[in-house]
Amino acid sequence: MQTPARFDYERATSVAGAIAALKEHEDSRIVAGGHSLIPMMKLRLAQPSRLIDINDLTELQYIREEGDEIAIGALTRHVDLLESELLWSRFPAFRDAENVIADPVVRNRGTIGGSLCQADAAEDLSAVASALKGVVTIVGADGARTVPMGEFHLGPWMTAVGEGELVTEVRFKVRPGAGSAHEKVERRAGDWAIAAASAAVWLDGNRIADAGIALSAVGMTTVDVTRAEELLRGEVPSDTLFEQAGRVASEDCSPIPDSRGPVDYKRHLAGVLTKRALRTAAARALKQEA
């Protein structure tokens, strides 16, 4: 049986305490659900000197509407995202994604903060948060700062979170005429994606005022398909338009061949799933407008 390298353990009782512990102990890591970190530790791909458990920080577990934004605390569990009627009404892509993430055991323990900070290219919530133009709040000893999702992932398993810092929240603007969706192809239920696409559109009348498209599992990080987003802006939603956006998404991703499929297959999936997600997102946006 594979076992992690030796490490110390500390249970934080406050955000300030967790940040102080991170600053005091080099190579320490935050743990909440642990479904990504612990397997990496068993494989010795991650060897933190200390785990700082934040499960007692219930002040970071919430989904609430504040003015023109939806705020989600970093410790919010997958099951809470799945069952939230507020998110379903505002950003249905979250429920689409949560329905195909892992299994009930993982969904009951895993958190949105852990998912985003793992920076796994095949992770569903990273694509959802990117397509919806989320903004991450990062807190450290010097205070809080915000980072757009488009700048949050720096590379495989690398984020903008610095030493001694902690993600506390991610926020999403609530705008009129909004619709979103997430589409995924997997080998078996709950598996990592072979390819996945998240899409969001914001309508102004019968035209697309803004759009967001992000792909999972077809690059070294979550792929923001900005060229396809630009193609959509100002246009009337149509299958022809979404087909064009799908072709751009297929061209602009960078799949790696592996046991889940060759490059050409993954590129094809990226295009098809982008079109499907855009079609559903636009239909939901039109329903909101009506």
Q: What is the pLDDT of residue 290?
A: 64
Do 66 and 105 fall into the same domain?
yes
Instruction: Identify the domain boundary among 120, 140, 173.
Output: 173
Do 87 and 161 fall into the same domain?
yes
Q: The domain that contains 199 carries what CATH number? A: 3.30.390.50
pTM value is 0.94
Q: The domain that contains 40 carries what CATH number? A: 3.30.43.10
Average pLDDT along the chain:
94
Residue pointed to by tokens 């999702």:
149
Do 166 and 198 fall into the same domain?
no
Instruction: Identify the domain boundary among 143, 173, 203.
Output: 173
Name 65's bridge partners. 70
Is 187 within the bounds of a domain? Answer: no
For residues 7 and 55, give the distance between their C-alpha atoms in angstroms, rounded to a whole number: 18
Do 66 and 167 fall into the same domain?
yes
Is residue 254 packed enough to be buried (19+ CB in 10 Å), middle (13-18) or exposed (0-12)?
A: middle
Q: pLDDT of 18-70, one tens digit each?
A: 999 998 888 899 999 887 788 888 888 788 889 999 999 999 999 999 999 99
Is 149 within the bounds of a domain? Answer: yes
Q: pLDDT of 103-149, one tens digit each?
A: 777 788 899 999 999 999 999 999 999 999 999 999 999 999 999 99
| Residue 213 near residue 229 (C-beta atoms within 8 A) | yes
Do 47 and 69 fall into the same domain?
no
Q: pLDDT of 190-215, one tens digit each?
A: 678 899 999 999 999 999 999 999 99
Q: The domain that contains 97 carries what CATH number? A: 3.30.465.10
Q: What is the domain extent for residue 22?
A: 8-53
For residues 173 and 289, give the distance between their C-alpha atoms in angstroms, rounded to a whole number: 17
93, 147, 211 from 139: Cα distances, Å: 27, 11, 29
Q: What is the pLDDT of residue 69?
A: 98
